[in-house]
Each structure stands twice: as structure tokens, then as C-alpha cells.
């Protein structure tokens, strides 16, 4: 009982459960039971405890609780870059879902750097996160790390990107399908030579978008011209460079595999005095609220970002709760939104029958 003889409470550091117990003239057990609503505590003691808590302004130290209960009610989230406009909504979705379950989020940006990612993962393990949400950087998890993860049994949910050697629950958008629809749309309205600004081939969704492009070309009997294709890294600069090299080739249209690259691409077009959709058609990937307000209004494939976050968090929370079973994969449906950048208005002679595809004409919505 050395503890009860501690400092005369106050002065930084806040009151502890012992202070409350002393104040209420009960044991720490009683206080604990009251706080956690566990076990039956008599009316009078209950009141005394609550009064003491209020009087001392007591807040339980969640650090100590986490240590004792072996759970932090915190989940670690690693995204490539929170400043990439794709991820904020994903994170917000995860945050909301987590919050609803009493969990909170620590956020890290890996910059797609496997080394950084590894550091953060180790951090999460050391901080005893209850679970991890991960948009994997290129490359596989180091065996060393995988061993720890498995040993510790910390659940991980992969977001947006699979990772070959990591068997874990995964939530994806169907980028293969999305890319296929994007390019199909271009083909359907009459474009013949369709270029690609693709994502990095060393991440799964980069490959998927690439494959969807090729599949669509095949489906419409269009040639694959390797010189009309460029690989980017999802950032503005790479889209810009791709624009500089691809635009002079004067193909009919382009599919650009994400928004940031589209921004760079458009900048290049602007500098070269090329206009969209008059000089080239364009379908982008990933929609934003402002795309409909500025010219050219981008035809794009909307990805359910918020839902991606919530779904991932839900899966993770299930695992944290102890659910067992083989890894689950959820694939969310993208949705083609047709505006003008594709050249649809210019070529509406080839009327598009909806064909049961996930097509949305923006003028129809809202």
C-alpha cells in the first residue's frame, strides 16, 4: 500500500484511481467497477465514487488501461500520402467507422517507400495497435516483419492494393473493370487510337488499370500501340511528362489512370496549345466534387473512396473482435461518369446505349 501514500495529489499529472478511491473512502476495485460499469456496486458507494470523480476531475489513464487490458482501441493507418486527394476520404471513412466502435486512428504517410512503411509498421506493432489498415507500398513485406506480424497476430487489412505474399483481408475497387469501362467508352464513341497514362506497374491497382485498358482495346478490335503508352507513378509530374511525350503523337484519346496524373497531363496539353475534347478525348480515373464545375468537365470513373475506408475498418474491427476464417476480399464497384472530356458531346452521333453498364450521365444525376 505504498501507493496510497503518494504525492499529495494535484500539481500536473492529474488524479489517479487511488486518489478517487481515497476521496470516496472505497477501494480501487469499487472505483474501477463504477467506471467500467462492471459488477454491481451499491447505491451509496456508487454515488460516493461518482462524486469523488467529479470533484477531482478524474479521467482514467487510457495508457495504463491499455497496458493492463492488452488492447489500445487504436488502429494504425498507413497510406502513401494523405496529401494525395484520393486518400483523405478513405481515411475519413475509416475514421468514422472506427470512431463508432470506440476506436481511433494514428495516421502515417509512407510516400510509397517500403523502408518508411516498414518503420511505421514496426512502430504500430510496438505501440500495440489493435489492428492495421495498409495501402501497401510497392514490393512485398519483409519476411522478418511478416514473421512478427503473424507471431503477434495483429490483424491487417489491405486497402486498394494487394500484396502478393501477404494473406490478409483486402478491400479493393474493381480497377480492372473501371479501366475497362473507361476505355470501352472511348472506343464506343468512336475513338480509334487510344493512349494510356498508366499507374506504376509494381502496384496491383496499377497493373489492374493497365490490364483493363488492354482488355478494352481487344474487345473493340483496336490496336495496342506501345508508343501510345506511358507508365506514371500517380503523381502530377509523371502525368505531365507523359503528356509531353504522348500528346505530340496526336492519338484520338487517352485514358489517364488517376486524377493527379490527369492534372499533369492537362498542364502539358495546355502548354502545347492542345484543347480537350476538341484535340483529344480523355477519360480520367477517380472523381471529385469539383470536376463537374470546370472545363473540360472530366469524364471519369468514380471510386467509392469513403466506402473503401468504412469497409476496410469494418473488416478490421471484425478481426480484432476475434473473427477467424480465411482472408476476405471485397471488391467495390466503380462507376463511369460521362461528362465532356471524352468527346461524347462532340460525337454523340454514335449514341451510347447504356448496355447495362455502370454509366452515369452527369446531367441525369442531381
Sole binder of DNA in the list 41, 158, 194, 332 (CB under 7 A):
41
Span from 44-52, 96-104, 171-179, 315-323 in contact with DNA (CB under 7 A) = 44-52
Sole binder of its own copies in the list 114, 139, 190, 292 (CB under 8 A):
292
d(CA 87, CA 307): 12
Applying the rule CB under 8 A, the residues between 12 and 31 that interact with its own copies are 12-14
Contact call for residue 2 and DNA (CB under 7 A): yes
d(CA 62, CA 82): 27
Sole binder of its own copies in the list 1, 2, 5, 293 (CB under 8 A):
293
β-strand pairing of 281-285 with 229-231: unpaired
Sole binder of DNA in the list 38, 221, 353, 363 (CB under 7 A):
38
Sole binder of DNA in the list 50, 65, 81, 142 (CB under 7 A):
65
Q: What are 158's strand-pairing partners?
A: 134, 170
d(CA 171, CA 158): 6
Q: What are 171's strand-pairing partners?
A: 159, 330
If the CB atoms of residues 27 and 66 are measured against its own copies, the closer one turns out to be 66
Q: How many Cα atoms within 13 Å fall on the side-chain side of residue 14?
A: 10
Span from 14-22, 281-289, 294-302, 303-311 in contact with DNA (CB under 7 A) = 14-22
Applying the rule CB under 8 A, the residues between 156 and 215 that interact with its own copies are none
DSSP per position, 224-250: --GGGEEE--SSHHHHHHHHHHHGGG-
Query: In whole angstroms, how close is the CB of 362 to DNA at the nearest point?
Result: 52
106: three-class secondary structure by DSSP: strand
Contact call for residue 61 and its own copies (CB under 8 A): yes
Contact call for residue 151 and its own copies (CB under 8 A): yes
As given in the structure block, the three cell numbers for residue 291 are 470536376
Query: In whole angstroms, how close is the CB of 122 to its own copies at the nearest point?
Result: 7
d(CA 218, CA 216): 5
- Cis geometry, peptide bond prior to residue 277 (ω within 30 degrees of 0): yes
Query: In whole angstroms, how close is the CB of 364 to its own copies at the nearest point?
Result: 14
Helix 143-152 / helix 114-126 crossing angle, nearest 10 deg: 20
Closest CA to 132 of 152, 115, 114, 112: 152
d(CA 276, CA 278): 5
If the CB atoms of residues 52 and 260 are measured against DNA, the closer one turns out to be 52
Sole binder of DNA in the list 36, 150, 202, 227 (CB under 7 A):
36
Q: Position of cell 460521362?
A: 338
Binding site for DNA (CB under 7 A): 1-3, 6-7, 13, 16-18, 25-30, 32-33, 35-36, 38-42, 44-46, 58-61, 63-65, 67-70
Q: Where does this chain bind its own copies (CB under 8 A)?
A: 10, 12-14, 57, 59-64, 66-67, 70, 72, 74, 81-85, 87-89, 91-92, 95, 99, 104-109, 122-123, 125-128, 144, 147-148, 151-153, 236, 259-260, 263, 266-267, 270, 289-290, 292-296, 306
Amino acid at each position: 500500500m505504498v501507493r496510497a501514500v503518494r504525492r499529495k495529489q494535484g500539481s500536473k499529472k492529474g488524479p489517479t484511481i487511488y486518489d478517487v478511491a481515497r476521496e470516496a473512502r472505497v477501494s480501487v476495485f469499487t472505483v474501477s467497477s463504477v467506471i467500467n460499469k462492471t459488477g454491481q456496486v451499491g447505491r451509496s458507494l456508487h454515488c460516493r465514487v461518482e462524486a469523488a470523480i467529479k470533484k477531482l476531475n478524474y479521467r482514467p489513464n487510457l495508457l495504463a488501461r491499455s497496458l493492463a487490458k492488452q488492447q489500445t482501441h487504436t488502429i494504425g493507418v498507413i497510406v502513401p500520402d494523405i496529401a494525395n486527394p484520393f486518400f483523405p476520404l478513405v481515411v475519413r471513412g475509416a475514421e468514422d467507422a472506427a470512431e463508432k466502435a470506440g476506436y481511433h486512428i494514428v495516421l502515417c504517410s509512407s510516400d510509397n517507400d517500403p523502408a518508411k512503411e516498414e518503420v511505421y509498421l514496426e512502430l504500430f506493432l510496438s505501440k500495440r495497435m489493435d489492428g492495421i489498415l495498409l495501402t501497401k507500398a510497392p514490393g512485398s513485406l519483409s519476411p522478418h516483419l511478416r514473421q512478427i506480424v503473424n507471431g503477434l497476430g495483429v490483424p491487417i487489412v489491405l486497402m486498394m492494393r494487394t500484396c502478393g505474399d501477404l494473406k490478409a483481408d483486402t478491400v479493393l475497387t474493381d480497377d480492372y473493370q473501371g479501366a475497362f469501362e473507361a476505355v470501352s467508352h472511348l472506343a464506343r464513341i468512336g475513338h480509334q487510337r487510344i493512349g494510356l497514362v498508366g499507374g506504376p506497374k509494381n502496384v496491383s491497382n496499377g497493373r489492374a488499370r493497365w490490364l483493363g485498358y488492354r482488355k478494352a482495346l481487344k474487345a473493340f478490335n483496336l490496336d495496342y500501340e506501345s508508343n501510345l503508352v506511358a507508365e506514371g507513378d500517380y503523381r502530377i509530374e509523371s502525368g505531365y511528362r507523359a503528356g509531353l511525350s504522348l500528346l505530340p503523337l496526336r492519338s484520338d484519346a487517352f485514358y489517364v489512370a488517376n486524377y493527379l496524373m490527369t492534372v499533369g497531363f492537362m498542364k502539358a496539353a495546355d502548354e502545347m496549345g492542345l484543347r480537350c475534347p476538341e484535340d483529344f478525348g480523355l477519360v480520367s480515373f477517380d472523381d471529385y466534387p469539383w470536376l463537374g464545375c470546370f472545363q473540360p468537365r472530366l469524364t471519369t470513373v468514380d471510386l467509392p473512396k469513403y466506402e473503401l475506408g468504412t469497409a476496410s475498418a469494418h473488416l478490421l474491427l471484425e478481426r480484432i473482435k476475434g473473427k477467424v476464417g480465411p482472408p476476405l476480399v471485397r471488391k467495390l464497384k466503380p462507376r463511369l461518369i460521362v461528362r465532356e472530356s471524352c468527346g461524347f458531346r462532340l460525337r454523340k452521333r454514335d449514341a451510347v446505349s447504356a448496355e447495362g453498364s455502370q454509366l452515369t450521365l452527369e446531367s441525369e444525376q442531381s
